[in-house]
Amino acid sequence: MKSIRTTLIATALMAGLTGLALAQNTTAPADNARAGRMEKMREHKSEHKGERHTQRLAELKAKLNLQAAQEPAWNAFTQSMQHPARMARPERASMEKMTTPERLDMMQAMKAQRDAHMQQRAEATKTFYASLSTEQKQVFDQETARMMKGSGMHATKHEGGHGRH
């Protein structure tokens, strides 16, 4: 009885591995077409996201009822909030040619760029926030908390990102 069970398990394993091997060989051309479609979808989504971002900033500005003296800080804040151009990712083939330490160095460099942009955003936001009146700060706090709830770090998880900022 034990030998039949072992034989069945071994047969199932072999069939599964054979299926995986065949699937790998037949999916390569589809991956290239899929990658192209995915890139087009990302570009379209990015354009739409940029339009929504601009609209939300305009609504925030209207709700804050800014004074003329606050305009320079607002402009610096909105400039810092613009999404940077998407960093070019190396092609998969070039990534495969890299050694593990080279890939790690590249990923650290990309993270350093994201961190620098986030630091710039934080500084501009704090400077702008300091220029607001008490009432404006309350509006800003409420509105940005609402915006972050719908489009902040939690949303990037669903976009396949890793908390892009």
- Cite the beta strand spans of 3-145 per DSSP E: none
Count of CB atoms within 10 A of residue 141's CB?
12
> What secondary structure letter does DSSP report for 68?
G
CA distance 24 to 9: 23
> Is 104 part of any domain?
yes
For residue 2, give both structure tokens. Answer: 């034990």
> What secondary structure letter does DSSP report for 70?
G
Domain total for the chain? 2
Domain check: are 126 and 141 in the same one? no
Name residues of the chain where pLDDT drops below 50: 25-27, 152-165
pLDDT per position as a tens digit, 32-77: 677 677 766 666 665 667 788 889 999 999 999 999 999 999 999 9
The domain containing residue 145 runs over which residues? 133-165
Domain check: are 137 and 110 in the same one? no
Domain check: are 119 and 142 in the same one? no
Domain check: are 165 and 148 in the same one? yes
> Is 150 part of any domain?
yes
> Is 97 part of any domain?
yes
Distance of CA 90 to the CA centre of its chain: 17
* pTM, two decimal places: 0.58
Query: Dihedrals φ, ψ of 160, to 5°?
Result: 85, 10
Residue 139 has what pLDDT? 94
CA distance 142 to 138: 6
Residue 1 has what pLDDT? 56
> Is 102 part of any domain?
yes
